[in-house]
A = this chain, B = another copy of it.
């Protein structure tokens, strides 16, 4: 099992070479249609041949033949006359992810694979590229929280532990940063204990708001939409959405704080409610911004834009959000 998982990882990272099948039908351009049909008739496994590939000088790929065209051609015509010239071919050393992108808008059932001198070295079935793409995308929500993209249900306990644990330690380290910010305001919390219950509420709320922005940005990268939108516009939209979402959830949370605090006899209950509203608006605006910038920054540094993105996002939103709430409470209320 471990070996299978490792092989899979290699494949995902690797070039198209591993996904190739042998090219079964390479014919010189001077071959006649009648001879091509004879070749097919004599072939052991004609049902595995989807296209014929036509070679020219030095055996270089110069064309491809669709059986439909062969059927409509005259027996004495040459393949050079019947072929579709200069067919799209995938270089054998191309990364799988790039091959998927290249094939995405072509939709051929089979692609020829060529070396640097345009010799056909194999073929790749289009569904294999699509299948790989589905596999990659289905890994994304895990990658966001530090799951390796090779992990699946069949992965063993120890492999899963080894792959997931390091990111949990990173998450803890970043949580300490937020915890450190909170501990700087221990004096405030000891005077207004009600704030303690609102720390995880604020963190959870801005974290979820930010993850919404993050997910939409990642989806835009996956589907290629992102190129059509300037980053500044995306940030503006998500910051505004954060402001609106923070305002309407903040008012509800603020009312809850006001009710809690006034029931506890706190004279500043109204002001504390206001602190919650402001903190919620501010932290959701920031989390919207992080939601766009984290995956874009990861990608700019050559990393997978999903990698631990949720961990990086919540670090920022936790520090900013809880820090803001406690700072506002300290300066406005105390």
Contact assessment for A141 and B144 in the assembled complex, using a CB-CB cutoff below 8 Å: yes
Nearest B residue (CB) for A195: B196
A49 CA to B67 CA, complexed, in Å: 11
Interface size class of A (residues with CB under 8 A): 35 or more
From residue 197 to 248 of chain A, which have CB atoms closer than 8 A to chain B? 197-201, 203-205, 207-209, 211-212, 214-220, 222-223, 225-226, 228-229, 234, 237, 240-241, 244-245, 248
Q: Is A4 an interface residue (CB 8 A)?
A: no
**Those of A139-173 within 8 Å (CB) of chain B:** 139-142, 144-147, 151-155, 157, 160-161, 164-165, 167-169, 171-172
From known contacts A49-B68, A245-B164, infer whether A310 and B216 are also in contact, taking CB-CB under 8 Å.
Answer: no
Known contacts: A127-B130, A216-B147. The answer to whether A248 contacts B165 by CB under 8 A is: yes
Q: Is the CB of A253 within 8 A of B172?
A: yes
| B-side contacts of A176, CB under 8 Å | 201, 256
**A186 touches B (CB below 8 Å):** yes
Are A153 and B229 in contact, CB atoms less than 8 angstroms apart?
yes
Cβ of A297 under 8 Å from chain B: no
Q: Which residues of chain B come closer than 8 Å to A41, judged between CB atoms?
A: 72
> What is the bound-complex CA distance between A59 and B171, given in angstroms?
63
Is there contact, CB below 8 Å, between B72 and A208? no
Q: Which residues of A line the B interface, CB within 8 A?
A: 37, 40-41, 46-47, 49, 66-68, 70-72, 107, 109, 125-127, 130, 133-135, 137-142, 144-147, 151-155, 157, 160-161, 164-165, 167-169, 171-172, 175-176, 178-180, 182-183, 186, 189-190, 193-201, 203-205, 207-209, 211-212, 214-220, 222-223, 225-226, 228-229, 234, 237, 240-241, 244-245, 248-249, 252-253, 256, 260, 306, 310-311, 314, 318, 322
List 25 interface pairs A-B (beta carbons < 8 Å), by A numbering. Answer: A46-B72, A49-B68, A126-B127, A138-B219, A140-B140, A140-B141, A141-B219, A142-B216, A144-B215, A145-B215, A146-B208, A153-B217, A154-B228, A157-B237, A164-B241, A165-B248, A172-B205, A175-B201, A178-B200, A182-B197, A186-B196, A186-B197, A190-B190, A200-B200, A204-B207
